[in-house]
Structure 1
């Protein structure tokens, strides 16, 4: 069968840069899946994406669908024929619909019966006949939340479509996609090659693009940007602040990237570097530079989409653009310093946190109260934590944070230092926002951890306390993120003294009579424990391990973490499978016991050797695991309990638990109960698969 290269390109107006990569991947996946589903064979698929195009190149694609045999099952034989063996109307109607007679039908025999069967050979259609429809289907599958219309047509896409190119080898595939007739014309660089080009062959796509000043391969274009930035940074003796998202965005903004460097007045370095970095990166898509000590340099690198004969003009233009933005940051900083953070606290009363829960000032007072209590549990200065809690939101009313919201917390730290607040207070103000996202740093100080936990608890307890529990995708106060951040701080900080029930109780006390919902403490604790599942699954820990620990509901996050890792290690032991099965069997037996479970094992009632051996083994395992359990060393405790596998197996093979003698039966149930309780001190391993 004939094979060749297919090229499909959708030429558009400038596509949204933050969506470009995802759109390209989705288009490639959708089109390749449709080709595969429609019986077209191919060897490889490659994506292309630039600001004004989405394209897919398919190598060694068959020119026609594979022929296939379609089986059409008819009525059952006992329905297809009457008692005299004559075809019924049902059989004749089915046969007529398939263009055959009943006599032509084959038989399909299965263990469930016999049916009439027609095998139809369907010839594959040529690619040229089906491709336009497949491309339209693929485009409809793209993640476009708000498609737009343009001109007088009815087509809708994320941006107006200017050209459609569909070529199979050197032949144009005719058809209409999004109201545009397909051809072999491709758009060139908007400035260097506005005339575009005519594509001669689908294999020539990438090289033809480069001839018209377009690097169509997203990854290749990105690598060129990375290398250009690295070269200039080295020449300037600086280091680029790593930001992969920004590199992706800039890659999606240019078709022919050229890296250039520029500078700004050193006087702006008197402003904290964070707002300067924000305005350069977010407003201008520049790459700021730091020295080896993390100090901002008065220089930046930017990517232009033009290879200019006079780059000095472009550099000068960008320096002129950034100067007023830096001057704004300088003005905000100097103005904000005239008012202390402490003086800003009253103003927080005008900023609403939540209608029923009060203002940000109310929240700050609660954070201060709870942070002081947590600090005591962490054996650090409660006064520092309380002061930081009171001031932690004060920078929200500063001009700098109003202009650059990303700098909240960090500007609070700078203003606290300027005001002469204690070092620990300034650090805790910044750290209380941590972690801001998955994988972000955690508070390095105990005071910072105390304020961060108090802040996250306040949101969780407050919102749960007024009955606004997150449901589905709705989580306007980001409580799921707050919960995981709180757990990370406690677990990774190894704060053993902190217990979720006690923390929630302290936070609830800070609200006074504001909370109206029932069961707030239990609901918040359960919500926090439930977040462990999502967190651990990201780490690759098995769901049944998490469920085994959750069944015991340990409310100390550090203790919970130790159990999870211990059960994960236990799960790999050769004894684990048999012991999990045995515990499941024990749980099922004990679940059927009515009334109080027997607790005490009477030695004189142990008559058979296997039950005597198990009783001795349980005592030995209890003694062997006791010290490890007291130290929270659950891994060693489970290793000690693994020795029970052989006596447990022998017991179940040779001993009838439900003996006729009630006293013997009760004694054996007590023995099994003690066995189960040993494991339940750590987790319910009967849940393990």
Structure 2
């Protein structure tokens, strides 16, 4: 069967840059799904996206569907013929509907009976007949939240559409979509070359566009931009400051990227670099340049969509654009410094944190109290932590943060240092928000960690306390992120903090503002649930997580120590047998309602195997309890593994359910002791296969 490469392109007005990658990849995925549903074979599909086009290029697409045989089952033979063997109305009607006579029908025999059967040959349809529906499906499923109408068209799309091209090799396939009939017309660059041109073959799409000043492949365009940015920065002895998010947004704004260098007045460098960088990146999509020591240079790079014969004019224009933005930042900075952060505390009472939970001042007061308490627990300076808590939200009331919200915390640090606050206090004002995303840095000092934890616990307890638990994808207060932040700070900084204790204190600080009586337990369970999800993402075995989770340790560092110990124990040759024995012990104790503590009488131990098990347990019990108290769970499980021979011998030779009730109770007490020692780490029985 002949195969060709298929091109589907929508030529549009400028598409939303932050949506371009999703639109392009979704378009290709939708086309693939539609081709698969149509049972058309192909090798692979590529997506192309530029500001004024979305395209899909399908490689090795079959010219038409394969012919196939479709089996159409009719009535059961018992219902298809009467007692005299004549076809019934049901059989005749079914046969007529399939264009055959009853005599032409085949028979299908199964275990459940015999039916009439017609095997119909269905000819495969060509791509020319199928493409209209494929295009319709692919467009209809695009993630467009706010479609628009244009001109006199009734159709809607994310932006006005000007061209539709559908080429199967060199063949133009007639398709209509979004008010356009397909043609060979392709839009060139808006300013360079021909406004439109005719495409002769699907395979020439990229090269033809390149000759018309369009790099259609998104990844290629982004790679070219990154290479040019890095090369230009290296020539200047500087470092280009951009991430994938900024790079992708720039790549979504241009079709023919040209990197140019510009500069601004060095006097603006007196403003904190974060504010300048924010306005360059976020407002103008410029790429700041950093010196080798990380300080900001007054040189910057930008990407234009024009290859100009007079680039000085473009550079000058961009320098004129950035100047008032930097001047605003300078003005805000100078104005804000006229008032201390402490003097702004009263103004926090004018801004609600949450209607039922009070103002930002209420929140900062709570954070201060909880920060001091956490600081005492982790041996940090409670005075610095409390002071940072009181000032934690004051920079939100500054002109700079109101204008550039992303620099909250950062500006708090600068203003605190200007006010003469201690350095640990100033650092905590910035680091209270850490970590902000997966892989982000953590607070550098214990004081900062105390404030960051207090802020997150206050939000978690407050929102849970008024019953606004996150549901599905809805998490307006970012409680999941707060929980993960709590866990990362505690575990990665090896802090000994009990979730129940901190949550309980946070609840007490809220006093009568909370209405959810189950708040304490729900918050702790929520955080532990996030911990289990994190561990799964790190490829920790599910049964290992379940074994530890069953003990519900509420100190995250302790929880992690148990996880690591159980994961290591699982690799021990004795683990499977010991897990099975634990499961057996647990079942025996449960059936006999044995729990708590029970005394073991040495005089009632008569069998050699039970005496040996008791002696072996007694020999290591003290050491196990000592190691458990010091969170040395690997050593605990290692020592318990030495009991395997004694445990095996016990179950092979001792009848637990003895006729003498005192002997039975004594043996149950021995099993209870054994079980309790294993439970110092985890419920090992859950590792059993």
TM-score of the aligned structures, taking structure 1 as reference length: 0.94
1:54-75 Cα deviation digits (max 9, x unpaired): 1111112110111222233444
1:113-147 Cα deviation digits (max 9, x unpaired): 55444332221110110012111101222222222
Where do residues 258-337 of structure 1 align in structure 2 (5 Å cutoff)?
258-337=258-337
Are 1:357 and 2:357 an aligned pair? yes
Match of residue 553 from structure 2: 554
Q: CA 1:253 to 1:514, structure 2 compared with 1: closer, same or farther past 3 Å?
A: same
Indicate if the aligned counterparts of 1:409 and 1:431 stay in contact, CA closer than 8 A.
Answer: yes
Q: Using the alignment, how far apart are the partners of 1:650 and 1:79 within structure 2?
A: 68
3-state secondary structure, aligned to 1:421: coil
Q: CA 1:641 to 1:596, structure 2 compared with 1: closer, same or farther past 3 Å?
A: closer
1:580-609 Cα deviation digits (max 9, x unpaired): 344334433433334657834455555666
Indicate if the aligned counterparts of 1:566 and 1:634 stay in contact, CA closer than 8 A.
Answer: yes
Q: CA 1:599 to 1:443, structure 2 compared with 1: closer, same or farther past 3 Å?
A: same
Are 1:593 and 2:592 an aligned pair? yes
Match of residue 123 from structure 2: 123
Q: Using the alignment, how far apart are the partners of 2:633 and 2:49 within structure 1?
A: 52
By how many angstroms is 1:467 displaced? 2.1
1:427-463 Cα deviation digits (max 9, x unpaired): 1111111111221111000110111111111111112
Q: Using the alignment, how far apart are the partners of 1:134 and 1:575 within structure 2?
A: 58
Match of residue 565 from structure 2: 566
By how many angstroms is 1:464 displaced? 1.7
By how many angstroms is 1:613 displaced? 5.3
Are 1:687 and 2:686 an aligned pair? yes
Q: Using the alignment, how far apart are the partners of 1:581 and 1:93 within structure 2?
A: 64
By how many angstroms is 1:551 displaced? 1.5
Are 1:634 and 2:653 an aligned pair? no
By how many angstroms is 1:666 displaced? 3.7
3-state secondary structure, aligned to 1:583: helix
1:205-230 Cα deviation digits (max 9, x unpaired): 11111011111111111110001101
3-state secondary structure, aligned to 1:230: helix
Q: Using the alignment, how far apart are the partners of 2:126 and 2:653 within structure 1?
A: 71
Where do residues 59-70 of structure 1 align in structure 2 (5 Å cutoff)?
59-70=59-70
By how many angstroms is 1:377 displaced? 1.0
By how many angstroms is 1:46 displaced? 1.8
3-state secondary structure, aligned to 2:145: coil
Q: Using the alignment, how far apart are the partners of 2:634 and 2:301 within structure 1?
A: 52
3-state secondary structure, aligned to 2:513: coil
Q: Using the alignment, how far apart are the partners of 1:75 and 1:686 within structure 2?
A: 56
Where do residues 20-99 of structure 1 align in structure 2 (5 Å cutoff)?
20-77=20-77, 79-80=79-80, 88-99=88-99
More displaced 10-residue stretch of structure 1: 158-167 or 39-48 = 39-48
More displaced 10-residue stretch of structure 1: 513-522 or 294-303 = 513-522
3-state secondary structure, aligned to 2:154: coil
Q: CA 1:370 to 1:132, structure 2 compared with 1: closer, same or farther past 3 Å?
A: same
Where do residues 36-435 of structure 1 align in structure 2 (5 Å cutoff)?
36-77=36-77, 79-80=79-80, 88-111=88-111, 114-435=114-435
3-state secondary structure, aligned to 1:149: coil
By how many angstroms is 1:391 displaced? 0.6
More displaced 10-residue stretch of structure 1: 414-423 or 431-440 = 431-440
Match of residue 466 from structure 2: 466
1:52-98 Cα deviation digits (max 9, x unpaired): 11111111211011122223344455555567766555444444433
Q: Using the alignment, how far apart are the partners of 2:125 and 2:646 within structure 1?
A: 68
Q: Using the alignment, how far apart are the partners of 1:420 and 1:306 within structure 2?
A: 49
Indicate if the aligned counterparts of 1:18 and 1:249 stay in contact, CA closer than 8 A.
Answer: yes
1:7-57 Cα deviation digits (max 9, x unpaired): 111111111111111111111112122212322222232221111111111
Q: CA 1:45 to 1:449, structure 2 compared with 1: closer, same or farther past 3 Å?
A: same
Q: Using the alignment, how far apart are the partners of 2:97 and 2:652 within structure 1?
A: 63
1:461-481 Cα deviation digits (max 9, x unpaired): 112222222222222211111
Q: Using the alignment, how far apart are the partners of 1:684 and 1:522 within structure 2?
A: 21
1:490-528 Cα deviation digits (max 9, x unpaired): 1111102x1111111221222232222212222221121
Q: CA 1:425 to 1:106, structure 2 compared with 1: closer, same or farther past 3 Å?
A: same
Q: Using the alignment, how far apart are the partners of 1:131 and 1:668 within structure 2?
A: 77
Q: Which runs of 5+ in 2 are unaligned?
A: none
By how many angstroms is 1:301 displaced? 0.6
Q: Using the alignment, how far apart are the partners of 1:528 and 1:215 within structure 2?
A: 47
Number of matched pairs = 688
1:508-565 Cα deviation digits (max 9, x unpaired): 2222322222122222211211211222222222333323222211111111111222
By how many angstroms is 1:157 displaced? 2.0
3-state secondary structure, aligned to 1:511: helix
Q: Using the alignment, how far apart are the partners of 1:625 and 1:100 within structure 2?
A: 83
TM-score of the aligned structures, taking structure 2 as reference length: 0.94
Match of residue 537 from structure 1: 536
Q: Using the alignment, how far apart are the partners of 2:100 and 2:648 within structure 1?
A: 65
By how many angstroms is 1:649 displaced? 5.2
Q: Using the alignment, how far apart are the partners of 1:495 and 1:125 within structure 2?
A: 67
3-state secondary structure, aligned to 1:7: strand
More displaced 10-residue stretch of structure 1: 121-130 or 643-652 = 643-652
Q: Using the alignment, how far apart are the partners of 1:204 and 1:675 within structure 2?
A: 75
3-state secondary structure, aligned to 1:214: coil
Q: Using the alignment, how far apart are the partners of 2:523 and 2:137 within structure 1?
A: 45
More displaced 10-residue stretch of structure 1: 166-175 or 142-151 = 142-151
1:217-255 Cα deviation digits (max 9, x unpaired): 111111100011011101221111231100011111110
3-state secondary structure, aligned to 1:124: coil
1:581-640 Cα deviation digits (max 9, x unpaired): 443344334333346578344555556666555545545564664443232122232233
Q: CA 1:115 to 1:325, structure 2 compared with 1: closer, same or farther past 3 Å?
A: same
Q: CA 1:446 to 1:664, structure 2 compared with 1: closer, same or farther past 3 Å?
A: same
Indicate if the aligned counterparts of 2:589 and 2:595 stay in contact, CA closer than 8 A.
Answer: no
Q: Which runs of 5+ in 1 are unaligned?
A: none
Q: CA 1:364 to 1:666, structure 2 compared with 1: closer, same or farther past 3 Å?
A: same
Indicate if the aligned counterparts of 1:598 and 1:669 stay in contact, CA closer than 8 A.
Answer: no
More displaced 10-residue stretch of structure 1: 660-669 or 527-536 = 660-669
1:366-402 Cα deviation digits (max 9, x unpaired): 1111111111111121111111110111111100000
Match of residue 520 from structure 1: 519
Q: Using the alignment, how far apart are the partners of 1:431 and 1:520 within structure 2?
A: 27
Indicate if the aligned counterparts of 2:594 and 2:672 stay in contact, CA closer than 8 A.
Answer: no
Q: Using the alignment, how far apart are the partners of 2:640 and 2:68 within structure 1?
A: 60
Q: Using the alignment, how far apart are the partners of 2:243 and 2:598 within structure 1?
A: 61
Indicate if the aligned counterparts of 2:594 and 2:668 stay in contact, CA closer than 8 A.
Answer: no
Q: CA 1:472 to 1:84, structure 2 compared with 1: closer, same or farther past 3 Å?
A: same
